[in-house]
Amino acid sequence: MRAMTIPLALAAGCLFFAACATQGPVEDRPQVTARDLDEITALLRRDFHERGQAKMVRVEQDDVQRACTLHGDNPPAEVAKPLEAAQLQSIRFPAGSLVGNWKNGERIAQSGRGSMWSDKPGVQEGGSCYNCHQLSPAVEAYGTLGPSLAGFGKLRGNTPAMQRYVYGRIYNSKAYNLCSQMPRLGHAGTLNEEQIKDLVALLLDPASPVNR
């Protein structure tokens, strides 16, 4: 295997540590070829080790991640559309109401715990929503990687179609925007059905602090 070049090292950081956002516009990013990607994955398989619940599957990219990596997060429509459609198909929408309890939703949105190798498997994980979004205007510490969601329900309405969109977005953001930087929280099993419903309530319930 040839020595890892600087662009390859950057690409590896971008792939596995979500550092792309800090690397400037898509056109400035190193071009990753399928061969580079296979080499990077081989290096990671060699150097990373399973620990606790952090299994080796975490270094493998699925077809969506692979397409985004190979196209600098901006794949052509003929690549993106069928993959998005398959992601949308895989969302399991629960029967009945999609709206839970916004009070639980606020706790889940604020919690960033979970998925660490040192966590006990089965410990309920949080949504980390505030890491990337403004939600309740009363909470002053939030990340800005994602758009502000303050007033989301007031602005977008609380219709069944909007409830379905928000549930689907949280379950699998890549069904709507293939290279979305938002984690696939339902798809990956980070959040369960009840938790996603509680987050839908946080965004859409008129009584939620997001909409006051």
* Contact set with ligand HEC (CB under 6 A): 109, 127-129, 131-133, 145-147, 149, 166, 169-170, 173, 177, 180-183, 185, 199, 203
> Do the beta carbons of residue 151 and residue 212 sit within 8 Å?
no
Cβ-based nearer residue to ligand HEC, 80 or 199: 199
- Tell the smallest beta-carbon distance from residue 41 to ligand HEC (Å): 22
- Tell the smallest beta-carbon distance from residue 199 to ligand HEC (Å): 4
Cβ-based nearer residue to ligand HEC, 32 or 180: 180
What does each C-alpha distance from 2 to 39, 97, 111, 176 come to in angstroms?
Answer: 9, 55, 42, 37
Cβ-based nearer residue to ligand HEC, 128 or 158: 128
Rounded to an integer, what distance in angstroms lies between the CA atom of residue 181 and that of residue 191? 17
- Tell the smallest beta-carbon distance from residue 3 to ligand HEC (Å): 32
Cβ-based nearer residue to ligand HEC, 32 or 170: 170
> Do the beta carbons of residue 126 and residue 108 sit within 8 Å?
yes
Cβ atoms within 10 Å, residue 17? 8
Helices of type H across the chain = 6-17, 34-47, 63-70, 77-89, 102-110, 129-132, 152-156, 160-171, 193-204
- Tell the smallest beta-carbon distance from residue 51 to ligand HEC (Å): 23
